[in-house]
Amino acid sequence: MPTAGRLAAALAFFIYGWYIGLLATPFFPEANPPNFFIPLCVGIALFCGWVVVGSRSGRGYRAAVGNGLTGAFAFTLWLVFLMSFHNMIRKSLRRLYDGPMEGVVDIFKLMLEMGEDFFDINLIVSIVVGGVICGFVSEYFAQRYP
pLDDT tens readout for residues 30-66: 888 899 999 999 999 999 999 999 999 989 999 999 9
What pLDDT band is residue 74 in, cutting at 50, 70 and 90? very high
Please tell me whether the overall predicted TM-score, pTM, comes out greater than 0.95 for this model: no
Residues 6+ apart with CB under 8 A from 142: 3, 4, 5, 8, 57, 58
103-131, pLDDT tens digit by residue? Answer: 999 999 999 999 998 999 999 999 999 99
pLDDT at 30: 87
44 in Cβ contact with 75 (< 8 Å):
yes
Number of helical (H) and strand (E) elements in the chain, helices listed first: 5, 0
